[in-house]
Chain A
Amino acid sequence: MSDYTVHPITEEDLKLVLQWRNSERVHSQMLTDHILTWEEHYQWFCRIKENPVPRNLIFSYKGRPIGYIGYTEYDEDRRQCSPGAYLGETDVPIDAGLVLLAFAVEYAFSTLGMRRLETSILANNRRAKRIDEYLGYKYIPGKDEACLKNGKAEIAQRYELTRDDWELGKDQIPVEGVNILR
C-alpha cells in the first residue's frame, strides 16, 4: 500500500494551504502576482466544497499534508480542465514531486473523466516545460499569452495533454499508486 494519499480539501486544511499558496517558493511559480487574502481563500472554499466530484485535493505522505492538487478552467461539456499541483512542504521524500505530478494527471483522466488537459507555463521556466513534456504535454502554437509577473511582462505558453497521449506514454513514468481517501 502506498504511503501517499489524497483527500478532498476540508475546512481544516485551509490555513495550511493558504500559507503554502502565498509562500515565496510557490507563489513565484504562479502566473499571477496576487497574494490571496484569507477572505478570498475562504470564499473560494465555500464555492468549491459543493463540487460533486472533488477537484481540490490535499496530497499527504504517511498522513501528513505536504501538497495540493487543483483543477481549474473546468469544462464538463468538453471534458477539459487545467491541473495545478505543488508541494507546500520541503522536507518531503525526494520522489514526492514525481508522484504528485503524475497523480494529478491520472486523477484528471481516470476519476474526473477528462479527455484533454491544458496548462500554462512561463516561457522562461525551462525546468517546468521539461517536466510537463516528460509527462506528455505538447506545446500549442499560437496560444501564447501575456502576463505580468513581478511587475514585468512575461509570456506564458500553453501546453496540452490528451487522454490518448497519456495512456500511450504513462508506462514510461516510474510512479506508484496514490490512495484516494473519501
Chain B
Amino acid sequence: MTQNEFLFKMQDEVLDIEREMTMESKLDEIEEWDSLAFVSFIAMAKTFADKKIDRAAVQNAKTVGDLYTLLQ
C-alpha cells in the first residue's frame, strides 16, 4: 500500500473524516483517533496487509506515519 493509499484509507475508513492529514500528523491531535478508530486500524492492517499488529505498538505510535510503518 502506498503512502497516499494509506492516508486515504485512514481518512475514509479508519477515522471517517474529510479533512486531509499527512504522515506527520500527530495522533494525539486528531480528535477522531479514539478507541473505535484503534480497532478499525487493526482491522485494516489485517485486511490490507494481512498482518497481526501488536496492540502495544499501535498504542505507542505518535504519528500517522508511525502507523504506516507498522504495516510494512
Interface residues of A (CB under 8 A from B): 87, 90, 92-98, 101, 126-127, 130-131, 133-134, 172-175
Q: Is the CB of B43 within 8 A of A133?
A: yes
**Contact present for A172 and B46 (CB under 8 Å):** yes
A95 interface neighbour in B14, B44, B47, B55, Cβ under 8 Å: B55
Q: Are B13 and A134 in contact (CB under 8 A)?
A: no
- Beyond known contacts A127-B14, A134-B42, A172-B52: 20 more, CB 8 A cutoff: A87-B36, A90-B34, A93-B35, A94-B33, A94-B38, A95-B55, A96-B35, A97-B36, A98-B42, A98-B55, A101-B39, A127-B13, A127-B40, A130-B44, A131-B36, A131-B43, A134-B39, A134-B47, A174-B52, A175-B55
Binary contact readout B18-34 vs A (1 if CB under 8 angstroms, 0 otherwise): 00000000000000011
A-B contact count (CB 8 A): 59
A selection of 17 A-B contacts at a CB cut-off of 8 Å is A87-B35, A90-B34, A93-B35, A94-B38, A94-B59, A95-B38, A95-B58, A127-B16, A130-B13, A130-B44, A131-B36, A131-B39, A133-B43, A134-B43, A134-B46, A174-B53, A174-B54
- In Å, the complex CA distance between A93 and B34 comes to 9
- Separation of A97 and B41 alpha carbons in the complex (Å): 12
Inter-subunit contact A97/B35 (CB<8 Å): yes
